[in-house]
Amino acid sequence: MVTEAERNRIAAILSGISRRPTAEGTAPHKDVFLLALISVFQGVGGGQNRFPLDNRLDLAFERYWNRFVPNQAHLPNRIELPFWYLQNDGIWRVVPKPGCEAIVQAFPRATRRRILECIDCGMLSDEMFAIFKDSETRDFLRTMLENKLSERRTGAMPAHFSENGFVSYLNTLHGTDANNQGALAEMQSRQPLFEEIRVGHELAPAILSMLLGDGRDACNVILTGHAGDGKSILALEIVRAIDPNISFDKKTEVTSGGVKIIVAKDLSEWSEAERDALLDDIACADPNVRYLIVSNTGALLSMFCDRCRRISSDRVTVESELLGALDATGESAWFSFGVSVFAVFNLARRNNIGLGMKILGKMVESRRWEGCRACPSSSTCPILANREILRRNHEIAFMRIAWLYERAYAYGGRLTMRQLGAHFAFFLTGGLNCQRVSQLSIRQKEGYRFFNLFWGDDGVQDVRDAVRQLRAVSLMREQGFNKFRSPREDRLLRLGGATPVRQTDPSLAEFEERLRTSVSACAGEDGGEREDNEARRRRNYRRAVYFLGSAVGSEKVLQGFERFLDGFLASPKLRDALSWRNNPSQFNGNRLLPSLFRVLQEEFSGIRFAEGGTGGDRLYITLGGRSSTVRRSAQPVLADCDFSRSFSVVLDSDGTPVLRGRGHSLEGVELRLSIPFLDYITDRGRGVLGRGLDRAYRNRIEAFKAALLERLADTQNEELVILRKNADGSLSPLSVRIREGRAGKEMEVL
């Protein structure tokens, strides 16, 4: 806790900084610069009293400038000014490059070019650096600087105004400005409001049971994954299940029932001597000591592989076994280092969308929103409106948000828990704080609808920092969502009538009516501008329909709305695949067989069929195949089988459809049908040619084809089968063989 003396000391330092007067008060450059220094200091690679004028410092300064000094063209956004002139206040000095001391001393004024050429870095005074090193005094300094800049921009805060701390906390998660300390697990562990959004991890009970178990049930645990996957938060949950008040560091010890659990995290920050000591302890295999190792894969491989000789093994063996465990697709895998056994949990291999949606639910349902009701801006607050819309339409909105993440995940676009949380926080708040909301006009507030912020824009233009900083926003934009054009929904905007958007939500009904009116008003605009504005408004309406719409009417209307959802998702089979995973009883593999047979026949023979045609029910693998650049009307057959009798489509244990061989001859031959492949065969069945097939999946099909050839090819058969495509699209096999005739060898058609 910051003492009164420390508060006074920090206040005295800030009041002693000279600032040039401007029309709005005093120049903000030095205060913005100090905030940028704090951001760089606590960022990756920070913690040192050395601040070069580099890209990190530039970016931090720009973020804070855009946050606190917007739209003031008369004030130059030049970081070189405070970098040089802060020396005059006794808390900062610049360090010349070797040989440049006299040049720097003679500077008439500082320019960016001169600083980059002649100055190595800047350094804080000892007193200021001591404030930076202590997290509590550093946070207090940041708060004072932010308050000062806020007051400069807007004047004194109204007496009736109060900031909702939960909104401020959410804004620390998305990192679209320099106030991003909430994105770090270490900060979360000390943040009281973290409990408002914390969700218990489904792996925590199983891992705790392994660490505290007896006999064969006991083992050590390795927890790995990408940065931001929630490794540290999960480890924190495990140790705090034993001791709720324990502090969390790179090495933490906790005891329960005579068993000591040692948590070793962030191995990349350990010295070689510390890693050696850790592995020595692990090699002792004390039955009363268990280890929970939390690390990214690089440091993990380095620690175990570099010390393989301790267990009389070689690097290749250890590396192969550890990589195999890290790449396992099940709940966990096993890795042995000498006599010590580890259960390996790789969070990067897990679908974390369900866990993420629970966090969004906690954000929306938090009791901290109750404080907003007394705010005079509550009736027009876009942040509160987003929360209320999501809360009132929880079931439908959350399901459709999850669909978007699931579609991206199916196509290889996985987000970490940190990236998901940042996206949630951003499309709830838009980066606004309570004070900023009170300064916006009604028209400006309309730009902060969650169904636009989800994509990183306000419905008209991009939110620059969100597009640049949020991986989730860029990923959503890469997926090709909302490309589908629905004439039915577009007609509603101009002609009126029943709407698929729920009228039970007054704010949405108002938005829809205003949007319909504005689209009608486009008729008075000029050419290109009218087309651009109308297209943008229709796009915004389709977004609202997707997130919150529900169809009411005839079966034809319902089917049309289902097609709209599939088109918006750019995936005709995603919703079916998710329903099979959740309700396996709804799955009917026979419905997939015709379109699957058609695609495999085209891949194996290179013969394309007219829409609706399949060429029969016999699957042929020909010598030409799809890879052939020449399309032949007749091709030699390498192998064939009756498709419907030889294969069935069943659900695997994880809910994924699998084409599986029947009978002894095809036992073990299978092809997993991922969502992208299901989309591909569905579109091919409908005659859609635009969707391609990923190279990796083509390789799987080739492997499947090779397995079929191995099982089906008859090397003893002297007959040659020629496959011919007829004019009507059907396939005709023609069998021939060579026999001894009167005039020598001759061909016989069977």
Confidence band, pLDDT 50/70/90 cuts, at residue 734:
confident
106-139: pLDDT as tens digits? 876 778 888 988 999 999 999 999 999 988 899 8
Residue 297 has pLDDT above 80, yes or no: yes
Q: Which residues pair with 124 in a beta bridge?
A: 92
DSSP secondary-structure letter at 661?
A: E
Distance CA 405, CA 472 (A): 9
What is the residue extent of each domain of the chain? 4-156, 198-349, 487-571, 584-738
Lowest mean pLDDT, pick from 286-300, 642-656, 692-706: 692-706
Place of tokens 């250890």: 318
Confidence band, pLDDT 50/70/90 cuts, at residue 104:
confident
Residue 329 has pLDDT above 90, yes or no: no
Angle of helix 353-365 relative to helix 394-410, nearest 10 degrees, comes to: 150
Residue 628 has pLDDT above 50, yes or no: no
Q: Which residues of 635-671 are buried (b: 16+ CB within 10 A; e: fewer)?
A: bebbbbbebeebbebeeeeeebbbbbbeeeebeebbb
- Of 657 and 545, the structure prediction assigns the larger pLDDT to 657
Residue 387 makes CB contacts below 8 A (sequence gap 6+) with 364, 369, 428
SS (H, E, C) 533-569: HHHHHHHHHHHHHHHHECCCCCHHHHHHHHHHHHHHH
- Of 441 and 453, the structure prediction assigns the larger pLDDT to 453
Side chain identity at residue 651, one-letter code: L
Angle in degrees, CA 255, 261, 264, rounded to 5: 135
Q: What phi and psi values does residue 37 have, to the nearest 5 degrees?
A: -60, -40
What is the predicted pLDDT for the residue at 352? 94
Residue 608 makes CB contacts below 8 A (sequence gap 6+) with 602
Confidence band, pLDDT 50/70/90 cuts, at residue 553:
confident
350-393: pLDDT as tens digits? 999 999 999 999 999 998 898 887 788 888 899 999 999 999 99
User: What is the Cβ-side half-sphere exposure of residue 188, based on CA atoms within 13 angstroms?
Assistant: 24
Mean pLDDT of 321-340: 85
Residue 305 has pLDDT above 70, yes or no: yes
Contact assessment for residue 345 and residue 221, using Cβ atoms and an 8 Å cutoff: yes
Find which of 278-287, 383-392, 434-443 is predicted with most confidence, using mean pLDDT: 383-392
Side chain identity at residue 639, one-letter code: A
Mean pLDDT of the chain: 82
Q: Which residues of 222-253 are buried (b: 16+ CB within 10 A; e: fewer)?
A: bbbbbebbbbbbbbbbbbebbeeeeebeeebe
Residue 498 has pLDDT above 60, yes or no: no
CB atoms within 10 A of CB 713: 13
Question: What's the whole-model pTM score?
Answer: 0.75
- Of 594 and 406, the structure prediction assigns the larger pLDDT to 406
Distance CA 415, CA 622 (A): 42
Distance CA 561, CA 554 (A): 11
Which whole-number Å values give the CA distances from 186 to 7, 170, 190, 201, in the listed order? 24, 16, 7, 17
Closest by CA position to 599, among listed 728, 663, 691, 709: 691
Greatest distance between any 2 Cα atoms in the chain? 117
Mean pLDDT of 94-104: 89
Confidence band, pLDDT 50/70/90 cuts, at residue 246:
confident
Q: In the chain, pLDDT over 90 holds for what percent of residues?
A: 28
DSSP secondary-structure letter at 230?
A: S
Side chain identity at residue 731, one-letter code: L
Q: E strands, 652-743, where? A: 657-661, 670-672, 720-725, 731-741
Side chain identity at residue 301, one-letter code: L
Confidence band, pLDDT 50/70/90 cuts, at residue 714:
low
Distance CA 2, CA 139 (A): 9
Mean pLDDT of 307-317: 80
Q: Which residues of 25-55 are buried (b: 16+ CB within 10 A; e: fewer)?
A: eebbbbbbbbbbbbbbbbeeeeeeeebbbee
**Tokens encoding 739:** 């026999």
Q: What is the DSSP string of 266-322?
A: -GGGS-HHHHHHHHHHHHH--TTEEEEEE--HHHHHHHHHTTGGGGT--HHHHHHHH
- Of 411 and 510, the structure prediction assigns the larger pLDDT to 411
Helices (H), 549-674: 555-569, 574-582, 593-605, 643-646
177-221: pLDDT as tens digits? 545 544 555 566 667 788 889 999 999 999 999 999 877 778 999
Q: What phi and psi values does residue 748 have, to the nearest 5 degrees?
A: -115, 130
Find which of 21-30, 533-542, 740-749 is predicted with most confidence, using mean pLDDT: 533-542
Distance CA 253, CA 239 (A): 9
What is the predicted pLDDT for the residue at 638? 85
Tell me which CATH code domain 198-349 carries: 3.40.50
Q: Which residues pair with 738 in a beta bridge?
A: 747
CB atoms within 10 A of CB 73: 6
Distance CA 492, CA 508 (A): 15
Residue 52 makes CB contacts below 8 A (sequence gap 6+) with 120, 121, 122
Determine the 3-state secondary structure of 73 from DSSP.
coil
